[in-house]
Amino acid sequence: MTSPLSTFSFPTEIVFGVGAVAELAPRLEKMKCKRPLVVTDGGLLKTSSFEMLKQALGDPNGKIHWKLFSDVEPNPMENNVIEAANAYKKGECDLVIAFGGGSALDVGKAVRLLVKRPTLKLKSFDYHEDWSGLAPCICIPTTAGTGSEVGRSSVITLVESHRKTVIFHPALLAKLVILDPKLTRDLPPKLTAATGMDALTHCIESFTSPTFHPMCDGIALEGIHLIVDALPHAFKNGKDLKARGNMLIAASMGAIAFQKDLGATHSLAHPLSTICGLHHGLANAICLPHVMEFNSKHRPGLYHRVGLACGLDVQQLTGAKADRKTIDFIKKLLAYLGIKGGLKTHGVKENQLEALTEQAFADGCHRTNPVPVTPEDLKHLYEVAL
């Protein structure tokens, strides 16, 4: 136990099931909201998922006068939040519907800070200020990865430093989350794999974090169990609604679990997005086995229960052998999902390692890695992953 006091909280209301998006209109009516701003990215506008959202909301000039902001970038920038806040005010909106992957969800949650305080600079966000009374938010994910829909944080890249910042506050929690497997049916296999591995990384890193939170530990282990079963099916057959549904639930579980904290994989992955433009889930997937190797070398047996959650026969194995079998399983899963190792394969250059290392060490996630890391350790992990 790292502290004499711990705080446990799982307050988000979730509506889950095939066709759950149809609950949107009656829920808006119950919340007495008539002018929501839909925050999403432009790539979703021509998808069947967005058509289902439009059907649920009805004509923009009808009973629900909804507005649209669709300029969210894949790794959202501070300007996306500013522009969305301007759209909210211009449309005289009364609620945010964050619709899409983690980027859209993060912008949708964060925009309410600027609606409340237009002069706020995200780099100067102060957790201790009064952030009560934020505009309500409904999160509807169309990917099963970040779990941002149930998170109390937003990851935004600042304009000045070009570095990701994590804005954290319980007030950022969504008022309602809608998980509808039908909204993820058309997610391509490549993105299904990357977002799924993001969720798996959340579960593994949160479970192995030394922070005391046994409730999150249980959620993380069940999330691992669900993912290793469902992800191969969702990857192979995107129309498999049972697999899609289990992935949505598991992604939310991963995000609930990582209120406990994360580890070095995420510290490595964040700069790979800001500096090299890698998809966050892909960056996690490539780095995860290398971090597991590093951790298990210093803490044999760390991944024994992770192996059990993966359904592996490791009960009678020694710590090091259980770790080996678990790490090999993760590598085989990555191969099945078509995720090629080697950062060079994905455009990362050796001359970027110094900048990557600097940002990785400045990232707070590694502080709750089960094994303390130095800048040299992080650079070595980039080198072996290259």
* pLDDT tens digits, 275-307: 999 999 999 999 999 999 999 999 999 999 999
| C-alpha angle 7-151-264 in degrees, rounded to nearest 5 | 85
Residue 247 maps to a domain: yes
Taking the C-alpha atoms of residue 224 and residue 202, their distance in angstroms, rounded to an integer, is: 9
Same domain for 180 and 212, yes or no, is: no
Same domain for 19 and 161, yes or no, is: yes
Q: Please report the pLDDT score of residue 194 as a whole number.
A: 97
Q: What is the CATH number of the domain that holds 128?
A: 3.40.50.1970
Residue 2 maps to a domain: no
Same domain for 207 and 78, yes or no, is: no
- Domain boundary pick from 158, 184, 210: 184
- Domain boundary pick from 184, 203, 236: 184
272 lies in which domain range?
Answer: 189-385
Count of C-beta atoms within a 10 Å radius of residue 375: 13
Q: Please report the pLDDT score of residue 4 as a whole number.
A: 61
Count of all residues that appear for the chain in the document: 386
Same domain for 195 and 272, yes or no, is: yes
Same domain for 175 and 196, yes or no, is: no
Nearest by Cα to 184 from 221, 257, 138, 233: 233
Beta-sheet strand order (sheet of 67-69): 13-16, 176-179, 137-141, 95-100, 36-39, 67-69
Same domain for 176 and 273, yes or no, is: no
For the chain, residues with pLDDT lower than 70 are 1-9
- Number of independent structural domains in the chain: 2
Same domain for 125 and 267, yes or no, is: no
Q: Please report the pLDDT score of residue 7 as a whole number.
A: 64
Same domain for 159 and 196, yes or no, is: no
Q: Please report the pLDDT score of residue 6 as a whole number.
A: 60
Same domain for 302 and 366, yes or no, is: yes
Cα distances (angstroms) measured from residue 371 to each of 10, 59, 308 = 28, 54, 21
Q: Please report the pLDDT score of residue 152 as a whole number.
A: 92
- Domain boundary pick from 157, 184, 211: 184
- Element containing residue 213 per DSSP (H, E): none
Q: Please report the pLDDT score of residue 2 as a whole number.
A: 45
What is this structure's pTM? 0.94
